Amino acid sequence: MTTPLNIAAFPQARLSRLRQQDWLRDLIQEHHVQVHDLIWSIIVRDTSLPATINTMPGLIRYTVEELPKVITDAHNLGIKAIALFTAIPFAQKCNQAKLILDDQSLLYQAIRTIKAACPDMGVISDVALDPFTAHGQDCLISDGRVQNDATLAVLAQAAVLQAKSGADIIAPSDMMDGRVKVIRSALDEHGYINTAIAAYSAKYASSFYSPYRDAVNTNACLGRADKKTYQMNPGNGREAEHEVMADLAEGSDIIIIKPGLSYLDIVKRISQLTPAPVISFQVSGEYSMLKFAAANGALNYEQALMEQLISFKRAGARAVITYAALDAAQIMRSQQ
């Protein structure tokens, strides 16, 4: 004998009703990742350095000569902007980071080459000293101490050179106090009033940067030192609001939060604090974790990548900087 159903005991609202078909799930999806949300983090290398790096599987570091093709291919995939970083050999580094002020050096060659090959590709150029210093720090050091104000003068000169070479957005990632104001003033003084600034306003002293430091050849320079005296403490959230508001007051147009996945709460908090665009950075360690896990059968790389990217958007990021931009763009194209 069948027991009669007690209708009153069953829910009238069954949220799973709207999950039964692919088309319906797509119809009511709240957040989406599109190709134009992706900023490709690309590393340009000196020809004396290898193309690949063990700690970032799948990463290719390109020479200047290889840039026209890869940038054009990326643009054809729908990528509209790149975040540019450079890797040079130790012999070219010094404690004063002199190469960042040489407009014939690798960084400036790369910017000019990219803009010549693909004028519509947006170039977001990193402004920090760490790829160029023999000690691996983002700043000038004297007697073991960060020289904040002396570093600002170098950053301002480099920002102007980058804008002159064709960079569309200057991205100071050094976390020196007052650098946005100094860079904005220098750009305006030299006529680059329309060159935007995307400040790494909340950049945390994170262990997730280690593969990147291999990729740009700074890990050996840094050694056992750290950057805790100028990058943010991972335990602090409200301090990020202070940093962001200071940078906006000094003239930053865009806010970058770095790293990404472990700091989604910061992305959410800042996106609710200000209408200024917020960008999240899926950093090298976050990229490498996916690659190593997938290589060992722990997860599906494509599915996990897209899940991470949607989490950045859900948290409030307008765009995501990622080493996996080409992978994600190809995944999205295959799903069309």
Which residue among the candidates 203, 227, 291, 313 is catalytic per the annotation?
203
List, in order, residues 6 or more apart from 291 with CB less than 8 Å away: 56, 57, 58, 301
Which one of the listed residues 115, 227, 258, 313 is annotated catalytic?
A: 258
What is the structure's pLDDT at 21? 93
Specify the amino acid at residue 277.
P
The answer to whether 115 is a known catalytic residue is: no
Residue 14 binned pLDDT confidence (cut-offs 50, 70, 90): confident
Q: Rounded to whole angstroms, how far apart are CA atoms 172 and 160?
A: 12
pLDDT, one tens digit per residue, over 97-133 is: 999 999 999 999 999 999 999 999 999 999 999 999 9
Strand (E) or helix (H) holding 45: strand 38-45
Q: What is the pLDDT of residue 261?
A: 94
Q: What is the per-residue pLDDT for 331? A: 97
Instruction: Determine phi and psi for 281, rounding to 5 degrees.
Output: -115, 110
- Residue 154 CA to residue 183 CA, distance in Å, equals 10
pLDDT recorded at residue 240: 98
Domains and CATH numbers, the chain: 35-334 (3.20.20.70)
Residue 33 has pLDDT above 80, yes or no: yes
Counting residues of the chain whose pLDDT is more than 90, the rounded percentage is 90
pLDDT in tens, 78-93: 999 999 999 999 999 9
Mean pLDDT for 204-230 is 94
